[in-house]
A and B are shown apart, each in its own frame.
Chain A
Amino acid sequence: MSQHGFRRWLSRYRYYGRSHEIRDPVRELFLFRKRLWLTGLAMLLMFGVLLGRSFYLQVVAHQQYQTQAENNRIAIVPVGPSRGTISDRNGVVLAQSFSAYTLELTPSRTGDLETTLAQLGELIEITPRDLRRFRRAMEESRNFNSLPLRTKLSDEEVAQFAAHKYRFPGVDIRARLYRQYPFGETVSHVLGYIGRINERDIEKLTKSGGLLNYKGTDHIGKTGIELSYEKNLHGIVGFEEVEVDALGRAVRSLTRVPPIPGDHLQLTIDLRLQNLAEQALGDSNGAVVAIDPNNGEVLAMASTPGYDPNLFVEGIDFANWERLNTSPDKPLLNRPLRGAYPPGSTIKPLLALGALISGKRTADYAFNDPGYFELPSGTGTLHRFRDDKVGGHGYVDMAKSIVQSCDTYYYILASETDIDDTARFMSQFGFGQKTGIDLEGEAIGVLASRAWKRERFSGPRYREEHRRWYLGDSISAGIGQGYNNFTPLQLAYATATLANDGVSYRPHLVKRIIDGSTGQTKDVLPEETRRLDLKPAHLAVIKKAMIDVNREGTASRIFKGAPYTSAGKTGTSQVFSLRGERYIESQVKRHLRDHAWFIAYAPAEKPIIAVAVLVENGGFGSRAAAPIARALFDYYLTGARPAVTPKPDENDVDWEE
């Protein structure tokens, strides 16, 4: 574009066409001021808009922003209640909660995790075990959870860390509640244990609508009393309104709705009796249940071997779990509650009572025992059911059949009694059903009847001949063998019912519930479950015979010199069918040996304790099981102290790997 062309282009703008003219200063000033004050107007307009915005935010929408600011500022932190204490009937603490300082780490909020761990390690002792535990917890949880790294810090360690806290974002010291079972394996099956809340627990809590109450809780009852009385023991969650900063750190507490601590439970268990039972069982696998027949209070409920519930609280490690779970001795099994065994001869007194009531036998009826009973079998030959005494017991009446435990008497009785009648009678004593004890997971065992067998062998795998009831089945059942399987608890309950002349109470383990906050106590009242219409004359025959068992019969050696009268019945139940061979204990592998049973109550005139003792593979009931009952009675009735008194374990919460 030429110089000339550029000027012509410029001249198109009229104003600039006159650009060579000298401008009028007054007009110039006027035009300047016009523009200047125009901007002034624009400024005022903008400030008006800003004011309007301010008005909108601070007046019109104030409430909304106020709420948002409060939501920013205030976090509601649940405060878990302190779990109730469990004690024995005399107040000895069996499970307690305590608060301890824990060093906790939120992985998402720390910088480099490894560096943080290393630096923390210089400040506070962190063992490789702590680290392993922490890493495992990290794998199981999400990053924004606060995870325990070291527990039970000393006051010095807390102070030490507090001084250096600024160096460790995402690391905090928190007071956490721990559960401790001071007696370790003692009473372990009754107490059960608590463990970390897992997915399944959350699901259950969601269904029951109780999840909110667990907002501040890490643990929940998993088995035993801890499970059954979870509602009482747990308490009610509290809440704390905390002011937090933008990083979510609590700055100060605003309001606090304190949690309501869980109820304390006083058990019916007598720790010394319990301990005595466990020690008496010793290395054997077995079960002891002792019940007060007058109210159903369970005085002792032992199961051996036991386990240390402390191992489970913070999550059991693999090695221990493997050991407990795969041991052939099944230490995790609560034998009295869930173990079902053939009752053996222990049911003879009840079968005799049934015969008296039905009129199948009188007390005086007697026969000459050849030492066996023969039953024609399908092939035309005779099947011989042996008595354990070769050559027989001689002339046997009802009393003698109990005192000497004569099998032949009951073979014959069974051959003459319909199994369904027997089952109906036995069910009155609680067999084949739950006793209703306040523990979850109670087994019902087997009370055999025609209907039961049909049901049991239903399905395409079985044929009609499997489902039919044979007379031979009845004969076996007649001496407590065959299909019948009862739990030690059921036997103790039946014994208590018999001891109390047919009046039974629901067995229970909790004697008293003490409100966690008010301290008000609520006694658990005896709950009558049955009142059997038994003739005193019939009862007298049976009870007299049972007294004689301990006086001159199968258990007489054991109860020699006892300063009280007791009544009992031994039992030996076969684990393994010898098919006609003679049973020689020493020649049979241990786990195939007979189970030893003993049921008893005392004092015979006015019973206050009824027991069922089972020693798995213990051989004869009189030898293995009866001494345990004797020891319990001696202690309970005369106060004879057991040789060793239980002591709390010094190592409270166990953090063993």
Chain B
Amino acid sequence: MQIRDTLFVVWLRFTRHVDGPLMAIVLLLLAVGAVVLFSAVLPDTGRFIQQMKSIGIALVVMWVVANIPPHRLAQIALPLYLIGVLLLIAVALFGVTVNNSQRWLAIGGFRFQPSELLKLAVPLLLAWYFQKVEARINFGNFLIAMLLIALPAWLIKRQPDLGTALLVSASGFFVLYLARLPWKTMFLMVVTAVPLIWLFAHGYQKQRVLAFLDPGADPLRSGYHTLQASIAIGSGGLTGKGWMQGTQAHLDFLPERHTDFIFAVYSEEFGLVGNIVLLMLYVALLLRSLMIASHASSLFGRLLAGAITLMLFTYAAVNMGMVSGILPVVGVPLPFISFGGTAMLSLFICIGILMSIQTHRKLVST
């Protein structure tokens, strides 16, 4: 009896900072992901095992992060950001060049891409900053915040890695938005950003956008991926071709089938019914996140949780939009489904932060 009580208390302590609904939704997404990934990596099941290991590690990290109270997270925001920017400068000075872009730092045989870090560090810093000036946010604060975004974004852009620069900018922009940047300014920013982005874009990136606008015109080059993905999804029909039965996927017509284009594999094998299930899971995840943001006890928590929610949405929507041919091809993985350890780790840190914000509420508000 006593042992059972003890175990119960341990369980309670263990799960105290784990948000039940969020955990359940994430586990369901992971289950879907595992099923489709197993099919997508075939015949290389080694990758599947590798991904399961990554998920295991990521879950532990999530639990650790969830147990860190938000005010501690706020404390590390500035150091993390500074480290990130310094690393980016280091990249610019001593970085490893791969495929004509200098993105990596090599530390003792281990290659590391600091730009990934900024995707989280920027919203963290901005949330911390706005909390700091909470009582009297003025336009000057917004200008400072914009500079704080622009510095790492520019460093990443000149690597060059426009995609990540945009995602980092977006993560910061979401905080600005939630901190109630005036609509007029926002509109101006978007209007000036679009031609700038087009100016910065590489030939191949422009090509992708053009291919997106008319995928059939050039079926074997830029538009090939999109076309084959559309064929995969479309041929899946209402209920799909069945698990591991997707011909587009298994006969190699689908490119990047276990990473960026895994949604096409899923759609082909599970059809419209499967897509509805997946969309519903994402909607549930986002609703829960929004709820956490909405109920967060501090401005820091609200802004951070809201920005994380928007990032999760961005990843999911951009990926699915790209694969189903309504957005241009950008290298964004599908959250919780695509193969990739680093992305999985980042995601679970985000989930951990959300859980931390949710479960430390009462403690802080007292």
Q: Mark B318-332, 1 if CB is under 8 A from A, else 0.
A: 001100111000000
Instruction: Give the chain B neighbours of A50 by CB distance below 8 A.
Output: 279, 317, 320-321, 324, 326
Closest to A69 in B: B235
Cα distance A57–B237 in the bound complex, in angstroms: 8
- Which residues of A sit under 8 angstroms from B228, Cβ to Cβ? 72
Which A residues are CB-close (under 8 A) to B290? 36-37, 39-40
Q: Is the CB of A53 within 8 A of B324?
A: yes
- Contact yes or no, B272 A49, CB < 8 A: no
B17: CB under 8 A from chain A?
no
- With both beta carbons as reference points, the residue of chain A lying nearest to B280 in the complex is identified as A47
List the A residue with the shortest CB-CB distance to B185: A13
A515 to chain B, nearest CB (A): 40
Q: A55-B272, A244-B251 are in contact. Are A65 and B235 (CB under 8 A)?
A: yes
Cα A34 to Cα B48 with chains together (Å): 42
Whether the Cβ atoms of A62 and B135 lie closer than 8 Å is: no
Q: Smallest Cβ distance from B271 to chain A, in angstroms?
A: 6
B245 to chain A, nearest CB (A): 12
Is the pair A32, B237 in contact by a Cβ cutoff of 8 Å? no
Whether the pair A73, B237 counts as a contact (CB closer than 8 A) is no
Q: Which residue of B lies closest to A64 (CB)?
A: B234
Residue of A nearest to B305 (CB): A36
A32-B178, A50-B317, A58-B238 known; A247 vs B252 contact (CB < 8 Å): yes
CB of B46 closer than 8 Å to a CB of A: no
Q: How far is the CB of B204 from chain A (nearest CB, A)?
A: 21
> Which has the most chain B C-beta neighbours within 10 Å: A37, A53, A57?
A57
Give complex CA distance A51, B138 in Å.
40
Q: Kindly supply a per-residue 1/0 record for chain B positions 126-164, scoring 1 wherever the CB is within 8 Å of any chain A CB and 0 otherwise.
A: 000000001111111000000000000000000000000
| A68-B279 contact given A36-B290, A49-B326, CB 8 Å threshold | no
Most buried by B among A15, A21, A36: A36
Q: How far is the CB of B133 from chain A (nearest CB, A)?
A: 10
State whether B267 touches A10 (Cβ < 8 A). Answer: no
Q: Is B247 an interface residue (CB 8 A)?
A: yes
CA distance A23 to B251 in the complex (A): 61
Instruction: Pick the residue among B247, B275, B294 that contacts A54 (CB under 8 A).
Output: B275
Asked if B306 contacts A20 (CB within 8 A), the reply is no
Assuming A10-B140, A65-B231, is B248 touching A59 (CB within 8 A)? no
Q: Which residues of A contact B324 (CB under 8 A)?
A: 50, 53-54, 57
Whether B326 contacts A58 by the Cβ 8 Å rule is no
Q: A43-B317, A53-B325 are contacts. A73–B251 as well, Cβ < 8 Å?
A: yes
A33: CB under 8 A from chain B?
Answer: yes
Separation of A32 and B130 alpha carbons in the complex (Å): 13
The interface residues of chain A lying within 8 Å CB-to-CB of B253 are 72-73, 245-246
A61 in contact (CB, < 8 A): yes
Does chain A have a CB within 8 A of B276? yes
Q: List, in ascending order, chain B residues with CB within 8 A of A49's CB.
A: 321, 326
Q: Is the CB of B237 within 8 A of A72?
A: no
A1 at the interface (CB under 8 A from B): no
Residues of chain B within 8 A of A251, CB atoms compared: 251
The residue in chain B whose Cβ has the minimal distance to the Cβ of A50 is B320
Residues of A within 8 A of B236 (CB): 58
Complex interface residues of chain B between 259 and 289 (CB less than 8 A to chain A): 267, 271-272, 275-276, 279, 282-283, 286-287
Q: Is A35 part of the contact surface with B, judged by Cβ < 8 Å? A: yes
Give the contacting residue for A44; candidates B177, B231, B283, B325; CB below 8 A: B283
A51 to B271, CA, bound (A): 12
Asked if A31 is an interface residue, CB under 8 A from chain B, the answer is yes
- Confirm or deny: B313 has a beta carbon within 8 angstroms of a beta carbon on chain A: yes
Q: A69–B283 contact, CB under 8 A? A: no
Distance, CA A21 to CA B251, complexed state (A): 65
- Chain A residues lying within 8 Å of B206, measured Cβ to Cβ, are none
Q: Is B293 an interface residue (CB 8 A)?
A: yes
B79 close to chain A: CB less than 8 A: no
Residues of B within 8 A of A13 (CB): 139, 182
Task: Provide the bound-state CA to CA distance between A20 and B135, in Å.
Answer: 8
Tell whether B310 is near chain A: CB-to-CB under 8 Å: yes
B271 touches A58 (CB 8 A): yes
Chain B hits for A31, CB < 8 A: 180
- Are A36 and B180 in touch, CB under 8 angstroms? no
Answer yes or no: B67 CB below 8 A from chain A CBs.
no
B337 adjacent to chain A (CB < 8 Å): no
Q: Which residues of B contact A33 (CB under 8 A)?
A: 294
Is there an interface contact between A40 and B317, defined as CB atoms closer than 8 Å? Answer: no
Q: How many residues of B contact A (CB 8 A)?
A: 51
Q: Is B230 an interface residue (CB 8 A)?
A: yes
**Which bracket fits the contact residues of A?**
35 or more
Please tell me if B258 contacts chain A, counting CB pairs below 8 Å.
no
Check A577 for interface membership: any CB of B closer than 8 A. Answer: no
0/1 per residue, B216-236, Cβ < 8 Å to A? 000000000000101111111
Does A587 lie at the interface of the complex (its beta carbon under 8 Å from any beta carbon of B)? no
Give the CA-CA distance A271 to B345 in the complex, in Å: 84
Please pick, from B136, B232, B238, B247, the residue contacting A19 in the complex, using a CB distance under 8 A: B136
Complex Cα distance, B232 from A55, in Å, reads 13
Does B208 make an interface contact (CB < 8 A)? Answer: no
Partner of B326, one of A15, A35, A53, A244: A53
Determine the residue in chain A with the shortest Cβ distance to B181.
A35
Residue A16 interfacial (CB < 8 Å): yes
Q: Are A22 and B294 in contact (CB under 8 A)?
A: no
- CB-nearest residue of chain B relative to A67? B235
Contacting residues of chain B (292-351) with chain A, CB-CB under 8 angstroms: 293-294, 299, 302, 306, 309-310, 313, 317, 320-321, 324-326
A88 interface residue (CB < 8 Å to B) = no
Question: With A35-B180, A245-B252 known to touch, is A57 a contact of B233 (CB < 8 Å)?
Answer: yes
Contact residues of B between 93 and 143, Cβ < 8 Å to A: 134-140
**In the complex, how many angstroms separate the beta carbon of B150 from the nearest chain A beta carbon?**
19
Question: Whole-angstrom distance from the CB of A140 to the nearest CB of chain B?
Answer: 27
B236 to chain A: closest CB distance in Å? 6
Closest to B320 in A: A50
Closest Cβ of chain A: how far from B235's Cβ, in Å?
A: 4
Interface contact B293-A36, CB-CB below 8 Å:
yes
B237 touching A19, Cβ below 8 Å? no
Task: Indicate if A532 sits at the interface (CB-CB under 8 A).
Answer: no
Q: Does A358 contact B (CB under 8 A)?
A: no
Contacts of A22 in B (CB 8 A): 135-136
Q: Find the A residue at minimum CB distance from B236.
A: A58
- Give chain B residues whose Cβ lies under 8 Å from the Cβ of A244: 251
Chain A residue nearest to B276 (CB atoms) is A51
Q: Is the CB of B276 within 8 A of A245?
A: no
- Do B178 and A66 touch (CB < 8 A)? no
Decide: A47 near B310, CB < 8 A? Known: A32-B180, A57-B230, A58-B234. no
> Known: A13-B182, A64-B234, A73-B251. Contact between A40 and B287, CB under 8 A?
yes
A424 to chain B, nearest CB (A): 72
Say yes or no for A46: interface residue by CB 8 A criterion: yes
25 A-B pairs (CB sep. < 8 Å): A10-B138, A10-B139, A20-B136, A22-B136, A32-B180, A32-B306, A36-B290, A39-B306, A40-B287, A43-B286, A44-B283, A47-B279, A49-B326, A50-B321, A54-B233, A57-B233, A57-B267, A58-B236, A62-B234, A65-B233, A65-B234, A69-B247, A72-B248, A245-B252, A245-B253
13 new A-B pairs (CB below 8 Å) besides A53-B324, A69-B248? A10-B139, A19-B137, A21-B136, A36-B178, A36-B293, A40-B287, A40-B290, A43-B286, A58-B234, A58-B237, A58-B271, A243-B251, A246-B251
Interfacial residues, chain A to chain B (CB-CB below 8 A):
10, 13, 15-16, 19-23, 28, 31-33, 35-37, 39-40, 43-44, 46-47, 49-51, 53-55, 57-59, 61-62, 64-66, 68-70, 72-73, 243-247, 251
Closest 10 CB pairs of A and B: A65-B234, A19-B138, A69-B235, A246-B252, A245-B251, A57-B234, A58-B272, A54-B275, A65-B235, A16-B139
Binding site for A on B (CB under 8 A): 134-140, 177-178, 180, 182, 228, 230-238, 247-248, 251-253, 267, 271-272, 275-276, 279, 282-283, 286-287, 290, 293-294, 299, 302, 306, 309-310, 313, 317, 320-321, 324-326
